[in-house]
Structure 1
Amino acid sequence: MTSDVTLVGVTARSNRQKSDQDPATWMPAPQVHCRYIGEWVATKHRWALAVDQAEREALLRYAASCPNANLSFERAS
């Protein structure tokens, strides 16, 4: 099963900056925060992945600035 938001094309520079960091330690440019955290959370739900406390706090902090965001996802089979 694939999802349009499982992979997002980015520049090599952006990919190097992010590395294996989660939203607790790295975020993309502010204008895409809402999309990024939406896709991050949807992917976590879809694959039933764990979220640590620092990551959860960061996601909630960033989500507070996205008041009209709707999130949908498909559970992986």
Structure 2
Amino acid sequence: MARSSASAGRSLIEPPQVTDRCTLTGGVWYSYYDDITVNQASALDVDHLVPLAEAWDSGAYDWSAAQRQDYANDLREPWHLVAVTARSNRQKADQDPSTWQPPYEPARCRYAAEWTAIKIRWQLSIDPAEQQALTDLADACPTQRLPVTDDQP
């Protein structure tokens, strides 16, 4: 996968209104995992693209509490936390690309690139099955660009 400094973008299409009771009304989001446009915030989950359990298994167990908190709440890169349908997020759970990929096949190249960028940025390890899945996806996605940043956690 080639590298690009351009971000893949966020899920928000139209911003919601915040009521005086701190609830959301309106708004439109795009869940790229399953190619669904959502107009109810309650139908969405905010997904850690690389799940917290996966990060733990890949080296976060050795981080300080502050580093783990920084990872969990990272808003510096738009691909780290993504709004997706609750259904797709729950199907994914804490799986890596060797056992789960977005059901919308055209999203898989972006998903693999963003997964890889997060693993590199946070210096997380990749197990052999995960590496094979990412290699297979990279081979199938020769024009996909890898999002990068100069900003280290």
> How high is the TM-score relative to the length of structure 1?
0.91
Structure 2 residue aligned with 1:54: 129
For the pair 1:67 / 2:142, whether they are aligned, the reply is: yes
Structure 2 residue aligned with 1:76: 152
Query: Structure 2: 5+ residue runs without aligned partners?
Result: 1-73
Query: Structure 1: 5+ residue runs without aligned partners?
Result: none
For the pair 1:6 / 2:80, whether they are aligned, the reply is: yes
Structure 1 residue aligned with 2:91: 17
Structure 2 residue aligned with 1:45: 120
**2:81 partner letter:** L
Aligned residues: percent identity?
A: 48
Structure 1 residue aligned with 2:111: 36
Partner Cα distance (1:69, 1:34) in 2:
6
1:72 CA displacement: 3.3
Partner Cα distance (1:20, 1:53) in 2:
17
Three-state SS of the structure 1 residue aligned to 2:107 is helix
Give the number of the structure with larger relative contact order, counting CA–CA contacts within 8 Å between residues 6 or more apart.
1
Q: How many residues align?
A: 77
1:76 CA displacement: 2.1
Given candidates 91, 101, 106, the residue that maps to 1:27 is 101
Runs of 4+ aligned residues of structure 1 deviating over 3 Å after TM superposition are none
**1:7 partner letter:** L
Q: CA RMSD in A?
A: 1.3
Three-state SS of the structure 2 residue aligned to 1:54 is helix
> How high is the TM-score relative to the length of structure 2?
0.48
Rg (Cα) greater in structure: 2
Three-state SS of the structure 1 residue aligned to 2:126 is coil
Q: Which has the higher strand share?
A: 2
Q: Deviations over 1:23-69 (max 9, x none)?
A: 00000021101100000000000100010000000000111111112
Tell me if the contact between 2:114 and 2:147 (Cα under 8 Å) persists in the aligned partners.
Answer: no
